[in-house]
Amino acid sequence: MNHLPLITKREYLNKVKNKSFIIMTFVSPLIMVALGLLIGFLTNLNKNKERIIDVVDESGYAKEIFSDTISTTKYRILNNIDLAQARIDVEEKEHYGLLYIPKVTDVSQLSEKITFYSKETPSVIMIEGLESKIAKKITDVNFKIKGLDIEKIKNARIQVNINQESYTGEKTSKLSGKLKLVFGMVSGYLLFMFIIIYGNMIMRSVIEEKTSRIIEVIISSVKPMQLMLGKIFGTSLAGVTQFVIWVLVIGFLTIILSFVFNIDMSQMQGGQQDILENVVKNDEVGDIIVNGMYELSQLPIANLIAMFLLFFIGGFLLYSSLYAAIGAAVDNETDTQQFMMPIMVPLILAVYVGGFTVLEAPHGTVAQVFSFIPFTSPVVMLMRIPFGVPMWQQILSVIILFATFIGMVWFAAKIYRVGILMYGKKPSYKEIYKWLKY
Amino acid sequence: MDNLLVAENIVKKYGDFTALNNISLSVPKGSIFGLLGPNGAGKTSFIRIINQITMPDSGFVSLDGKPLEQNHVKDIGYLPEERGLYKSMKVGEQALYLAQLKGLSKTEAKDRLKYWFDRLEIGDWWNKKVQELSKGMAQKIQFVVTVLHKPKLLIFDEPFSGFDPINANLIKDEILKLRDDGATIIFSTHRMESVEELCDHIALIDKSNKILDGKLIDIKKEFKSNTFEVGVNTTNELAFRNVLEHKFKVTPATFKSIHDDVKVNIQIDATSTPNELLSFLTNEGQVNHFTEVIPSASDIFIQSIQNN
């Protein structure tokens, strides 16, 4: 008798009808959107606060340097005051800081001589911004001194964009590289989140069957393997349901809110805006969007989606059978801690390898190896695929993943079969190893 | 008599520990079979093998003449000692689910549940959640779920725990009725008075070995010690006692009597008959009380375990 559909249905309905599940499903997106708004609000609050930086200038270049300031930081050039007095004044007035430009015989000497005084250490971003601003201006000054025509130099400047093309003729660009990165990161983190949230849910539902003592009644009717798979499938479906609702609700709320408050969501990036302003002019933004759409259409969408689904399903099933085994081995949730390590270590490793190594060298040895190890491959391979992984590698990795999943289900079912009937004591790894031989 | 369940040479080991050591048992059709033994003797291991929850390391089990297989699940109803229900599910929903796992169709399960719920007068619990029920109420539902699919073999492990005396009696009557309707019942318990009341066969397992097996009445015959409880009214008590102790093995007895009797247990040789004892006693005085001491299930249990 195959009871898998029946068990899956019960697990699904039981999860979906659960009050706290329903509440979480609809409240979490609200909280997330509210949090997003709060962060945006706070960064804006910070940004709109006017910063005053006083400048003691002995060189005479300050006027030139700070002539066209558009950011919220105000530079006030102090006259007729020496550095020592200025430091005391500025500290008293609680201005953001004091910039000291000493007198130099040659403008090039300024490269090492400028000092910024402040109460707290300023952010690296702010200092780097200031450095590049000053460098740009005094370089221009230097050009003039050296008798070079700035306009000519500007016109002579050449920007290089290297066209990228693979031997098979596929064209790529830096922009598409970024898109690929985003796809990889999003899918990797999505899987990571999914495993942690719904893996735990599976574990709890196994523990619940143990603590409510219904387990022996159930497994006198069905095979433990069927029960375990039914739990995994039912909970996964509930998870997908919840995830889809989250995406829909968040999307809906975001659209509504951006109409209501007329908030430009891109502004939420806050502090980085200052730097971007210098790099990207407005008309270029439009270009990027158009190019982006084009690059997006150039990505192997069908391949990506197919592989995303395969790795997502395979990865989740692999980990969730481990969660189920842990749930079976213990009596209550507090005892699960000691067994979480074997789950968390490969998972975190996968995200780190995916986040760092794959970025640097998508086809390097490390990235390649980890994209075949089944515990890391779902995350790492998903991040690699957009950069072009040969089909045989993708298929091999999927096969390894699903083969391991089947092996893991067998292994987990052994622990499960024995564990669900064990009450009252916290098992050690050694004991679990013994169960495998029962 | 036909046997419904036959287990031959069952061995089950957990690592180095042997839970069942070469156990063979036959459960006759239509009997109530008491599976007895101290805690940790191996009863639950044996029951789990019958339910195919675990597999024996070696040995053979057959049900109704056929080797045990997955399909037999619908022929067996099992009420484990460690039992419970999903707390957050509604009673009716849950009973339906469990019945379907036993192979009943949804409509069939519904009809039978209606019948049983009415019978045990618990019809209005259908939409209640299990966490709202008392322990005894939940036990009733578990009982219904166990018997709902009309299995040939019913296995009850401590079925009366958690019941008040009224409900325990109700369940006892239901068990007897199920037996009369043709079911075979394996009954595991530590409550010897219910063994006495219900079982016609028993098997005793101790330290993974079967040490006793058979019809309860035969076992009692085997365990009888030819001891008689007597009450004799005599004028010279001292002399009477002296004679008795000289001739027989005598121990004091306590029983209720309206006479001022000498109350003793007298054990006679296996070669002599009760009649010989009785005629001896009638010569000594007025015999008001004469009964054979029949070993109780509890006596048999304790004696066997101690001798093992």
Q: Under a CB-based contact definition with an 8 Å cutoff, are residues B297 and B191 in contact?
A: no
| pLDDT of residue B296 exceeding 60 | yes
Specify the amino acid at residue A178: K
Q: Under a CB-based contact definition with an 8 Å cutoff, are residues A232 and A4 in contact?
A: no
Q: pLDDT category, A412, cuts 50, 70, 90?
A: confident
Q: Under a CB-based contact definition with an 8 Å cutoff, are residues B223 and B295 in contact?
A: yes
Chain B positions in Cβ-Cβ contact with residue A209 (cut-off 8 Å): 86
Say what the pLDDT of residue A169 is.
67
Mean pLDDT in residue range A2-12: 91
Mutate to test the interface with B, among A3, A221, A414 (most CBs of B within 10 A): A221
| pLDDT of residue A238 exceeding 90 | yes
ipTM: 0.81
What values do phi and psi take at B189, rounded to 5?
-160, 165
Distance from CA of B132 to the nearest CA of A (A): 14
Mean pLDDT in residue range B154-171: 90
Which tens digits make up the pLDDT trace of A378-394? 888 888 887 778 888 88
For residue B301, is it within any domain?
Answer: no
Do residue B213 and residue B230 come from a single domain? no
Say what the pLDDT of residue A386 is.
79
Q: Which residue of A has its CA nearest to B17?
A: A438
Do residue B148 and residue B187 come from a single domain? yes
Say what the pLDDT of residue A280 is.
46
Do residue B286 and residue B194 come from a single domain? no
Most confident by average pLDDT, A77-81, A419-423, B76-80, B268-272? B76-80
Q: For the whole model, what pTM was predicted?
A: 0.75
Do residue B282 and residue B202 come from a single domain? no
Mutate to test the interface with B, among A206, A216, A430 (most CBs of B within 10 A): A216
CB contacts < 8 A, A to B, total 69
Do residue B67 and residue B184 come from a single domain? yes
> Does B159 contact A at CB distance below 8 Å?
no
Do residue B40 and residue B97 come from a single domain? yes
Chain A positions in Cβ-Cβ contact with residue B70 (cut-off 8 Å): 1, 223
Residue A212: which of B53, B73, B86 has the nearest Cβ? B86
Q: pLDDT category, A237, cuts 50, 70, 90?
A: very high
Q: pLDDT category, A265, cuts 50, 70, 90?
A: very low
Do residue B147 and residue B190 come from a single domain? yes
Say what the pLDDT of residue A171 is.
67
Cβ pair A220:B15 closer than 8 A: no
> Does B71 contact A at CB distance below 8 Å?
yes
Cβ pair A216:B80 closer than 8 A: yes
For residue B75, is it within any domain?
Answer: yes
Q: pLDDT category, A279, cuts 50, 70, 90?
A: very low
Q: What is the mean pLDDT of chain B?
A: 90
Do residue B46 and residue B146 come from a single domain? yes
Do residue B258 and residue B136 come from a single domain? no
Say what the pLDDT of residue B17 is.
85
Q: pLDDT category, A44, cuts 50, 70, 90?
A: confident
Q: Which domain holds residue B235?
A: 225-292
Count of domains observed in chain B? 2
Chain B positions in Cβ-Cβ contact with residue A213 (cut-off 8 Å): 82-84
- Give the CATH number of the domain where residue B61 resides: 3.40.50.300
Mean pLDDT in residue range A411-427: 77
Mean pLDDT in residue range A339-364: 84
A297 compared with A117, residue with greater pLDDT = A117
A195 compared with A295, residue with greater pLDDT = A195
Q: pLDDT category, A10, cuts 50, 70, 90?
A: very high
Do residue B123 and residue B8 come from a single domain? yes
Lowest mean pLDDT among A161-165, B71-75, B180-184: A161-165
Cβ pair B76:A220 closer than 8 A: yes
Residue B102: which of A212, A213, A221 has the nearest Cβ? A221
Which residues, 6 or more positions from B59, have their beta carbon under 8 angstroms from its beta carbon? Answer: B7, B8, B9, B10, B11, B22, B23
Give me the residue spans of the domains in chain A. 50-156, 172-248+280-435
| pLDDT of residue A276 exceeding 50 | no
Cβ pair A423:B82 closer than 8 A: yes
Cβ pair B80:A217 closer than 8 A: yes
Distance from CA of B202 to the nearest CA of A (A): 23
Q: Which residue of A has its CA nearest to B83?
A: A213
Do residue B130 and residue B241 come from a single domain? no
Say what the pLDDT of residue B265 is.
92
Chain B positions in Cβ-Cβ contact with residue A201 (cut-off 8 Å): none
| Measured distance CA(A198)–CA(A320) in Å, rounded | 8
Q: pLDDT category, B95, cuts 50, 70, 90?
A: very high
Q: pLDDT category, A261, cuts 50, 70, 90?
A: low
Task: Supply the DSSP string of A80-149, one letter for each residue.
Answer: S--HHHHHHHHHHHT-SEEEEE---SSGGGHHHH-EEE-SSPPPHHHHHHHHHHHHHHHHHHHHHHTT--
Which residues, 6 or more positions from B219, have their beta carbon under 8 angstroms from its beta carbon? Answer: B202, B212, B300
Say what the pLDDT of residue A284 is.
56
For residue B298, is it within any domain?
Answer: no
Cβ pair A220:B80 closer than 8 A: yes
Cβ pair A220:B53 closer than 8 A: yes
CA distances from A174 to A72, A99, A288, A328, A362 (A): 31, 37, 11, 49, 14
Cβ pair B86:A214 closer than 8 A: yes
Task: Supply the DSSP string of A170-221, one letter for each residue.
Answer: -EE-HHHHHHHHHHHHHHHHHHHHHHHHHHHHHHHHHHHHHHTT-HHHHHTT
Chain B positions in Cβ-Cβ contact with residue A214 (cut-off 8 Å): 83-86
Do residue B148 and residue B271 come from a single domain? no
Which tens digits make up the pLDDT trace of A295-344? 666 667 778 888 888 998 999 999 998 898 888 888 777 888 888 888 88
Cβ pair B101:A6 closer than 8 A: yes
| Measured distance CA(A403)–CA(A400) in Å, rounded | 5
CATH number of A50-156: 3.40.190.10
Residue A212: which of B52, B79, B84 has the nearest Cβ? B84
Cβ pair B15:A437 closer than 8 A: yes
Which tens digits make up the pLDDT trace of B176-197? 999 999 999 999 988 888 898 8
Chain A residues contacting B via beta carbons under 8 Å: 1, 3, 6-7, 10, 14, 18, 208-209, 212-214, 216-223, 417, 421, 423, 434, 437-438
Chain B positions in Cβ-Cβ contact with residue A221 (cut-off 8 Å): 73, 98, 101-102
Residue A10: which of B51, B54, B97 has the nearest Cβ? B97
For residue B305, is it within any domain?
Answer: no
- Give the CATH number of the domain where residue B275 resides: 3.30.70
Percent of chain B residues topping a pLDDT of 70: 100
Mean pLDDT in residue range B264-286: 89
Chain B positions in Cβ-Cβ contact with residue A437 (cut-off 8 Å): 15
Chain B positions in Cβ-Cβ contact with residue A208 (cut-off 8 Å): 86-87
Cβ pair B73:A220 closer than 8 A: yes
Cβ pair A220:B97 closer than 8 A: no
